[in-house]
Amino acid sequence: MKIALAQLNYHIGNFEANTHKIIDAIAQARQQGANLVVFAELSVCGYPPRDLLELDSFMEQCEVAAQQIAEASKGIACIVGLPTRNPEIKGKDLYNSAYFMEDGKIKAQINKALLPNYDVFDEYRYFEPSVSTSCIDFKGHKIALTICEDLWNVNDNPLYVSEPMEQLSKEQPDLMINIAASPFAYNHDEERLQVLGDNCRKYQLPLFYVNQIGAQTEIIFDGGSLVFNEKGEVLDELPYFSEAIRYYEFEGKLVKGLQVQNLERQTDIEQIHQALILGIRDYFQKSGFSKAILGLSGGIDSAVVCTLAAEALGSENVMAVLMPSEYSTDHSIKDAMDLIQNLGCKHEIIPIKSAAKTFDEMLKPVFKDLPFNIAEENIQSRSRAIVVMAMSNKFGYILLNTSNKSECAVGYGTLYGDMAGAISVLGDVYKTQVFQLAGYINREKEIIPINSIVKPPSAELRPGQKDSDSLPEYDLLDQILHQYIELKKGPDVIIAQGFDEALVRKTIKMVNAAEFKRYQTPPILRVSPKAFGMGRRMPIVGKY
């Protein structure tokens, strides 16, 4: 039996494009002599469709697309993921399903049993969990077909009370196939290898695992589809962050012609770099946009975002706007111009000094003789937002937000100012990681000016301002933030690790107090195991 794994990039709700892509892959697999081609979870409609699932018209289009794909499966079999209707009155109205199609017909339906409801997942909102399943017979083989989370209940602290593979194993299958929509996080590839390999070792079966690639707003899928032998050893791994179709000969319980692979993992920063480029590119292409705009300050954050955007969209489609204030330094303008020259992107220089001064004069009768403070600082930041948004409206640019995760965490940013944007590129990347990204970008030649990397970070909203005036040094701050946000450690636990008590409590207080700001930020490209946004849901009005 020849099996094809199709690792593709889907578009939520774009049934025409998804169906065409799936049918093309079926035709290609048939031409290569494959007997079975396997596609990812919810491949027909894209993942996650969220409340689109509540529309009857959306479900009707799913069914029409499935019939078109089934008709294209003549002379071959395929497995596709899609939502289906639950015929029972009791329970949720839908299932998260896989269709097994063969010779133009839908021969079997497998429904997902374990529905994740944590972090970015919200499947039990829509789907009924399956309580029974059975193997699929094909070409003299018994296939244990599962959907993503169905294989993720093998660790020492199981999240679910049932285990679909336990039920399927009683039928003595010859192989496992798992179709997935497994989102990217910089540490998730290693966890994925462990969990999937554990299933192979537990059930003594080979596994064909297919994941999708592509970004769906903030969620990024990295691919990395896998083939394991019955010992849980990796025989093949598909590329990360790109589409691919590969073919495998399966006989008995063996994948023929492949040797055990000793895989070299990419570094976290390499993965984050690729993920952010894919996230930017797909956000624009799938939304029908082509041109990006951002404020370029001469600092490291905006320099990294500008560079990533130029790689994702082409430098000719990136507009960098320099908006110096009376507190901007000459070297900041030079650093920004050096980057523009290195990238070849478009640029404009629009000083905001006169705009900020006009606001100051307009507010003087109200502010009276109160001293200069954060109010005047934020006027400058909001003046910049007015400029880039005006250009967005006039020329059709889409604004990229350049705030990093450290700033976003502690509220070091201006609502309706530098926190504005359609998509946040670095909102899940700590400041220390931004420095690493800049170093990775410059790995072969200097693209980001060295001065943008080595100079002390500053918002330049008052004379001589530095981030360290308001925040701890980022090396220390990011460690505390990581403990609190990603690792979910409370203040007492963090303090017990040796961190200064006053600093820990101040940092956590800043994080909690900034929740109202984060609630109003743009979607953040998710690259960590715990990103701000839909994956971290905290009360705005609360005390902790």
Show which residues are catalytic: 41, 112, 148
Total count of residues recorded for the chain: 544
CA 141 from chain center: how many Å?
A: 36
Q: What Å distances lie between residue 357 and 292, 353, 361, CA to CA?
A: 28, 6, 6
- Residue 194: count other Cβ atoms within 10 Å of its Cβ: 12
Q: Are residues 91 and 53 in contact, defined by beta-carbon separation less than 8 angstroms?
A: no
Query: What are residue 314's phi and psi, to 5 degrees?
Result: 95, 130
Is residue 437 within a helix (H) or strand (E), and if so which, with residue range? helix 431-441
Question: Could you tell me how far CA 108 lies from the centroid of its own chain?
Answer: 32
Q: DSSP letter for 211, please.
A: -
- Is the Cα dihedral 53, 56, 58, 62 positive or negative? positive
Q: Give me the residues paired with residue 37 across strands.
A: 4, 78
d(CA 448, CA 425): 17
Q: Which stretches does DSSP call E strand in 58-152?
A: 77-85, 94-102, 105-111, 136-138, 141-147
State the DSSP code for 52: G
Residue 85 is given by DSSP the state E
